[in-house]
A and B are shown apart, each in its own frame.
Chain A
């Protein structure tokens, strides 16, 4: 079956350092991937997405890397700030077979130490 999982359930980094959050997926037909950030008491907030015809996409302080060969997705946050502390979810979608349904991973909790 399909699954999306994260390698590390928790990640603690020093303020100013770069953070890398990893995600593995098993459905080789997935063609769309998203990263969400969820702060306590709030709904998930979109960070960045990437389609399967790309292997890298950059946003403001964030970069998503997609390695389809090993079915791996990562989110890099540059110069991590205390406000980045949250749970980060990756999600995959296989539009052709699953009609755009997002399958979410369990999440990684990022803790930023001042």
Chain B
């Protein structure tokens, strides 16, 4: 596979469930990102990792917990979410932090019931 992949593509979960989103990049990049995309809103940056270290936590509620075990993989662990957390969650990667284009995955469409 090439580029940035995300699994699952669709997820429906109850408010008491625990689930995880997975992102994998095959580009040899050193920076990875999680974004939230809600209808009628701009993309919101959630987390930034550079060389597996978190460098940005954009005031995201603790019910979202990121994990970056290596430079190719990024997870977003979800627990006790709210219906307003329903959105498209996008993963991206870039060569490194700075003035580099970010390559996006297809996203996970999350619905919280």
Binding site for B on A (CB under 8 A): 4, 31-32, 34, 36, 41-46, 49, 51, 89, 91, 93, 95, 99-107
Contacts and interface: CB of A to CB of B under 8 A. Distances in A.
B48 A95 contact: no
Contact of B99 (A44, A95, A103): A95
A95 B90 CA distance: 22
B92 to A, nearest CB: 8
A107 B48 CA distance: 22
A104 B106 contact: no
B: contact size bracket: 20 to 34
Q: What is the interface of chain B mostly: helix, strand, loop, or mixed?
A: loop
Interface stretch (B37-45, B64-72, B74-82): B37-45
A87 B79 CA distance: 31
Interface of B: 4, 31, 40-43, 45, 48, 55-56, 90, 92, 94, 97-107
B102 A43 contact: no
Contact of A43 (B42, B97, B104): B104
Given A41-B106, A46-B103, A100-B98, 6 more contacts: A34-B101, A43-B90, A43-B92, A99-B48, A100-B94, A100-B97
Contacts of A103: 42, 45
A51 B94 CA distance: 16
B101 A101 contact: no
A99 B56 contact: yes
A18 B105 CA distance: 29
A93 B99 contact: yes
Most buried by A among B40, B48, B101: B101
B42 A44 contact: no
B5 to A, nearest CB: 10
Contacts of A46: 101-103
A31 B45 CA distance: 18
